[in-house]
Amino acid sequence: MTFAENGVRYEYGFSLVPERIEKDWLIEYINPRGRTLFQRDYNAQSKIYDWSFSSYLRGQRLVWSESTRPDALFLSTAVQLNSKQLLPVFHWFQKRLVVIASASTMNRALTYKLLDEPDGKNEVLSFLQEADLGIVDVSMKREPVPAGGFVFAGGPDMLIEHVAGQPTPNVVRVTMSHWDSEHKEKVELNFAEESHGT
């Protein structure tokens, strides 16, 4: 995972099997090349871990590495044993990382409300583009439900909007536009057609 904290970019990763952490590492990008603060690799032949530490990692590296259980991450152990330098990285995972499982229900009404505000579309579009999803435009369309019409529970791509004084509700849909494969024209997709990640 690559992220920024306190103006510094980090890359943190690990791999594991049911019995143990096979590898974990942290790279700090103070300059474009970056420096690996720590790396732990499980050696299957010797059945021990090979450790490497940067001279830039301050603190009791030997105590932390010897205290790290095979099924624990070095980052967690070092922070539990008072690594002040690694604390911002740990806090990023603890306080800033938000995992959205695909089965989660998102508050679509908030997005629709933002799109109705004067500069809301630019804010939503900026947010989507920052996530690097390939979205180049977003639009919202309202269609009144025809008299005598019936709306079946709505779907992931629509919101039912009841307007005071209006006998039938509106169906509100948001579509997102992507460039086609030749980058010549925009292709619109509604929420249901977007990936779960989007």
Closest CA to 8 of 38, 29, 34, 39: 29
Domain boundary among 62, 96, 130: 96
In a domain? residue 60: yes
Tell me which residue has tokens 């800033």: 96
Residue 72 phi/psi, 5-degree rounding, is -120, 155
The predicted model scores a pTM of: 0.57
| pLDDT bracket for residue 181 (50, 70, 90) | confident
In a domain? residue 13: yes
Instruction: Please check the confidence at residue 189 and state whether its pLDDT lies above 60.
Output: yes
The parent domain of residue 156 ranges over 108-193
| pLDDT bracket for residue 152 (50, 70, 90) | low
Angle in degrees, 0-180, between the axes of helices 108-116 and 120-130, rounded to the nearest 10: 130
